[in-house]
Copies of this chain bind each other. A is one copy, B any other.
Amino acid sequence: MARTFDKTIYQSFKEVTDPSNVAPRNAALREKLAEKQLDAFLIPRTDAHRGESLPAAEQRLAYVTGFTGSAGLAIVAKKKAALFVDGRYTLQAPDQTDTNLVEIQQLPEAKLSDWMGKNLSKGARVGFDPWLHTPNEIRDLTTKLGGHAELVPGDNLVDMIWVDRPLPPKEKVELLGTNRAGVSAKDKLKTLQETLRAANADATVLTMPESICWLFNIRGRDVPNTPVVHAFAVVHKDKKPALFVDPDKLGDSEKQRLAETIDLHSPEDFEPALADLGKAKKRVWIDPATCPAAVASLLTDEGANLYEKTDPVSLPKAIKNAGELAGMREAHRLDAIAMARFLSWFDRHAPGGQLSEIDIATALEAFRREEPTLVDISFDTISGSGSNGAIVHYRVNTKSNRTLVPGELMLVDSGGQYLSGTTDITRTLFTGAASTQQKHHFTLVLKGMIAISQVNFPPKTTGAQIDVLARHALWQKGLNYNHGTGHGVGAFLSVHEGPAGIAPRYHVALEAGMILSNEPGYYLEGEYGIRIENLVHVIKSNVAEDYLAFETLTLAPIDTRLIAKDMLTNLEREWLNAYHARVLSDIGPHLETEDKAWLEKATAEI
């Protein structure tokens, strides 16, 4: 029996913005340029917290250019304007902005500094909001400009012209008990203070919501997809830390409980607190890659001494404690039930040839939302059929939506934010009869995924070192994928987190407790995309003392009809069969008859 879904619950099909707004807004901005004696102004797609999701009040780039992609930067000069976007957005950007007024520049080939060299006269003054750029970004741009133009920090010109700007989020803060957080905020603070003392730092300024939420065992709903509170914090090596957060976000009971370990302040108190650290000549640990340049200058202007290094919360947050792990396991169990029901539904309905990408994404979200502890999906679902699956960061919208034809592959990358934890899973779906080529490519990707699942490695091994194991089978056939193999995943936090991952750029040692994605793929342009993604958890290996290995957290069947069985080694086949047996025994009991029968078939030995 067919089920129906309320498609309005699916929030992810972005409204197409109106390009006719671009002219008046650029004009208003240029008036401000003249007023402030500036020649140009920078508008990055970010806020002071640098998260993937932005509150509506921080969507300055979309307000000025119409462009709603997840990354980009505009520069509006007196006569000209440009929008820099990466390869994901070369189609979307011109569609959303007014290309008569804004030229689209493709990163990484196009460089902002080159554009400024060409389009601004020598000695030009370029304004920027120091809360929206990091010290590293400003230094890098200054170096590249080589004296051609001057970067001038100041108030944000967009905020001055923004009519009906949405209010900042005021969602309530939730406190995690130690049962969920695993370790009390008090104990986490103690460890952080030891780290500060060992680095000879008097304090650190935290500006990343994930770091603050993890440290203080709080969560929020300030942005979609990621359950964070937007706030700032100062942690001193030897006294109570200060949290700067809108008091409206805190209930009385939360205030009282937080005040036991934290000095609560309004956000307005943040700048004076930085100045105080400066006046006291403190040595302050900041992360120059993530903190706003404003933080660094407020500190140093008053005499603070900066110690620049990766956010000190980043590494301890990545190493999950027992409570977090238990939650992540529970979240994966809940997510696997939804996935099994979804895949079973897909197998029943896909052969009819009527399902669109939006139908499929909507159905998956509906299955997830049947679980009451789901807070949100963890990112906009990637639901790409046929050739759309080959676009690595594809997000379906009403214009791109395709109907899945039997014989086509379908790539679905999705995840959930449950109260217990965060999930991220990709499966390559299929209906019809798979071609030899489809099976060949799918099996090469699977071999890579299994290689990571099965590897044992010594201490101090980095994700950069093991990345090739996921690519080796593809490389031997002259194939590859143009993205990393894995990223860190937060525990009821951001679905993408540092500092560890599996890709050539990750030089942080993997440690027991880290949770990473394992997601090799293959993309045949114009034809299909294949990706298989499980989350894995770094555990102690049994091959030798100190050796590490991965335990797979994700529990959903991998379509065995897409496997060329003779391409698998015995060890690979054994891994797959054992994995499927675990999926069946862990998830089967939670399914009703029809779905359970489907799962038994889907997890049958090969």
Contact = CB atoms under 8 A, between A and B. Distances in A.
Given A464-B464, A464-B504, A504-B462, A455 B469 contact: no
A214 interface: no
A15 B432 CA distance: 77
A480 B475 CA distance: 24
A465 B462 contact: no
A548 to B, nearest CB: 10
A467 B464 CA distance: 10
Given A478-B543, A479-B544, A504 B455 contact: no
A462 B458 CA distance: 21
A464 B466 CA distance: 10
A118 interface: no
A472 interface: yes
A472 B455 contact: yes
A476 interface: yes
A308 to B, nearest CB: 14
Given A465-B467, A467-B465, A504-B465, A543 B476 contact: yes
Contacts of A462: 504
A285 to B, nearest CB: 17
A457 interface: yes
A321 interface: no
A394 interface: no
Interface residues of A, number: 25
Contact of A456 (B466, B469, B475): B475
Given A465-B464, A465-B467, A468-B465, A478 B456 contact: yes
Contacts of A480: 458
Contact of A455 (B464, B465, B475): B475
Nearest to A546: B478
Interface in A532-588: 541, 543-544, 547, 569
A191 B116 CA distance: 31
A477 interface: yes
A455 B474 CA distance: 11
Contacts of A541: 478
Nearest to A464: B464
B504 A476 contact: no
B476 A455 contact: yes
A464 B469 CA distance: 13
Most chain B beta carbons < 10 A, residue from A462, A466, A475? A475
A75 to B, nearest CB: 25
A539 to B, nearest CB: 14
A480 B543 CA distance: 12
Interface in A442-464: 454-458, 462, 464
Contact of A468 (B466, B476, B543, B547): B466
A467 B569 CA distance: 22
B458 A476 contact: no
Most chain B beta carbons < 10 A, residue from A455, A462, A472, A477? A472
A457 B547 CA distance: 28
Contact of A469 (B472, B478, B504): B472
A465 B458 CA distance: 16
Given A455-B472, A504-B462, A544 B478 contact: yes
A458 B472 CA distance: 11
A479 B546 CA distance: 11
Interface in A468-523: 468-469, 472, 475-480, 504
Nearest to A477: B543
Contacts of A456: 475-476, 478
A478 B545 CA distance: 8
Contacts of A478: 456, 541, 543-544, 547
Given A475-B543, A477-B544, A478-B547, 8 more contacts: A454-B476, A455-B475, A455-B476, A458-B480, A465-B504, A475-B547, A478-B543, A569-B569
29 contacts: A454-B476, A455-B472, A455-B475, A455-B476, A456-B475, A456-B476, A457-B475, A458-B475, A458-B480, A462-B504, A464-B464, A464-B465, A464-B504, A465-B467, A465-B504, A466-B468, A468-B468, A468-B469, A469-B469, A469-B472, A475-B543, A475-B547, A477-B543, A477-B544, A478-B541, A478-B543, A478-B544, A479-B544, A569-B569
Interface of A: 454-458, 462, 464-469, 472, 475-480, 504, 541, 543-544, 547, 569
Closest 8 CB pairs of A and B: A478-B544, A478-B543, A465-B468, A478-B547, A458-B480, A456-B475, A457-B475, A456-B476
